[in-house]
Every structure is written in C-alpha cells, then in structure tokens.
Amino acid sequence: MEYSNFIEKIISDFIPFQKEFNKEYKIDDFENWYYRQATEILTLSTGDDEINFKYIPVGSFSSKSNTWMWAWENSHSIEENKLATLKVKKFGNQVKFKELTDGQFESDKYIGWELTAMTNHVLGGIGGYRVQSEDHLEKYFLIVEPIDNELAKKLNDQIIDCDEHESGRVAFICQHLNKKTKTGFEEAFPTWKGMELGEDDDFQAWCNECEKVRLKEDGWTDKAMEFLGGKVVCENCYFEIKEFNFGT
C-alpha cells in the first residue's frame, strides 16, 4: 500500500467532515485564537463572543526549515495528551509509513492538514484547527470536544504563566521561599508533583520563620499573614523550591 494513495483517501473523507465542523461552530467567524498547553484548551473569540474546545496536539510545521515534527517528538510541549498521537505512530509501524513513524522530517506546507486528517482517522475527533505564530511555525490540533465557557475559565484560572516553565497550576508560597536560600519548607498538606487537587485545594507552602510566627499567633492571624507576604508561583517552581529545601 502506497502512502500517497492512502492519504488521498483519508483527506477526501476528512474534507466534508471538516466542513461540517466549521459550519456547526462557525470557526471561520472568530477573529482571535488562544491555547493553553497546561489545560489543553483552545479558545476562539471575537469581542465577548467565545467558544472553547479540548484538543490533542498533532504536530507542527516550520515554514522556515520546511520540516514537520509530531507532537510526541516535541520535548518543549507540556501537553500530556500529545502521547495520544503515539497511536498514530503505532498504526504507521503496522502499515510501514515513515511519515507516521519519523518524529521529524522534511516536508511541504500541506503535511499539517494531511497528518491532522490521519490523526482524526486513527483517534477520532470533531475537527481540526491550525494556529500560526510569528516565528513561521504552524501548529495543528485535533479538536476533541467543545467545553463550557465557564468550565474553561475555571480551568484556565487555575493556571499561571511562568517565565521558566511557560505555565503550570497555581501555587501559593510565602515571600521568603526561593531557589537560592534554604529557608525550610512547611506545607498545608503533603503534596507530590502531578497530584490531583480537590476543588477547594491549592498548593500552599511557607518557610520555617513563617511557621514560628503562625504557631506563636495560634493560626494565620493578620499579623502572621503580614509576615507571610504571600506570592504566586507555578506548580513546577513550587516543587523545585520544595526539593531545594528538602531536609532543611
């Protein structure tokens, strides 16, 4: 079986499928797009009009180097469900198509939609979407399902942008905790990286001196909170600080 013949059939099946997706959700009417890797939510908007989708990253095409990279090959992506595309790679091994098994390879500008159609064929979705960045990079998504705007906002509000780690879940620490000076590390409850949090739970930590003030004040009084002087960091920074202070 030739790849060119197979992908031609996949694309012919995908085109009407994609047209129906565009028609149902009026995708082309939205002026702005925004996606967040940590929540895997794509937001399309025009003014106050907004729609949100859960997505699976398919891969990216660089028009500067004319190369395609599968999402499962991209070490800079923090999207957990990029691993779903390994099913496409497994399928590629079965049919012996190198386009589905090579993590990165030279290609043309049409490859993105071809492999989005292929990913839809293997994984199933409701449509595809492409975003274009200023650095000549096109990123392709398989859209999985629409998500309620309020839920999308709630999930996105639990995420903070970070200069070091791009983004991550919100964590609260005292003003004294950092990655340069060991100050001790106290937590509201035992935590580990990647753990699921309850609806009303947050990562919270403070230093030894804050703990002394808290105990002296018999709780988080106004005086104790003033000494705490809390700040917000991402989950990754939180656990790096925890590891740095471990055993102190």
Q: Which residue has the tokens 């967040």?
A: 36
Residue 70 shares a structural domain with residue 83: yes
Q: Which of 103, 120, 153 is the last residue of a domain?
A: 153
Residue 32 shares a structural domain with residue 137: yes
Residue 124 shares a structural domain with residue 220: no
Q: What's the DSSP call for residue 27?
A: G
In this structure, what token pair is assigned to residue 85?
């595309």
Q: Can you state the percent helix, strand and coil of the chain, rounding each to 5?
A: 40, 30, 30
Name the domain count of the chain: 2
| Prediction pTM value | 0.74
Q: Is there a contact between 146 and 219 (Cβ–Cβ < 8 Å)? A: no
Residue 135 shares a structural domain with residue 207: no
Residue 10 shares a structural domain with residue 34: yes
Residue 165 shares a structural domain with residue 48: no
- pLDDT at position 156: 85
Residue 99 shares a structural domain with residue 172: no
Residue 17 shares a structural domain with residue 44: yes
Q: Which residue has the tokens 């403070």?
A: 206
- pLDDT at position 248: 46
Q: Is there a contact between 106 and 64 (Cβ–Cβ < 8 Å)? A: no
Strand, helix or coil for residue 132: strand
Q: pLDDT 10s per residue in the chain (248 long)? A: 788 899 999 999 999 999 999 999 999 999 999 998 888 999 999 999 999 999 999 999 999 999 999 999 998 887 889 999 999 999 999 999 999 999 999 999 899 999 999 999 999 999 999 999 877 899 999 999 999 999 998 888 878 888 888 778 889 999 999 999 999 999 999 999 878 888 778 899 999 999 999 999 999 999 999 999 999 999 999 999 999 998 54
Q: Which of 134, 153, 172 is the last residue of a domain?
A: 153
Residue 182 shares a structural domain with residue 145: no
Q: What is the pLDDT of residues 165-180, one digit of tens each?
A: 877 888 999 999 999 9
Domain that holds residue 168: 158-245
